[in-house]
Amino acid sequence: MRHPLSTAVLTALTFILIHTQAGAEMHTETIDYKVGDQTFTGYLAWDTEYGQKRPGVLLVHEWWGHNQFVREQAEQIAAAGYTAFALDMYGSGKLAQHPDTAKQFM
Residue 11 in this model has a pLDDT that exceeds 70: no
More confident residue, 5 or 90: 90
Round to whole Å and give the CA distance between 94 and 32. 14
pLDDT band at 53 (very low <50, low <70, confident <90, very high): confident
pLDDT band at 15 (very low <50, low <70, confident <90, very high): very low
Whole-model pTM over 0.75 = no
Residue 41 in this model has a pLDDT that exceeds 80: yes
Mean pLDDT of 15-35: 71
Mean pLDDT of 49-65: 90
pLDDT band at 36 (very low <50, low <70, confident <90, very high): very high
Assigned CATH for 25-105? 3.40.50.1820
In the chain, domain spans: 25-105
CB 94 within 8 A of CB 105: yes
Secondary structure (DSSP) of the chain: ---HHHHHHHHHHHHHHHHHHHH--EEEEEEEEEETTEEEEEEEEEETTS-S---EEEE---TT-S-HHHHHHHHHHHHTT-EEEE--SS-TT---SSHHHHHHH-
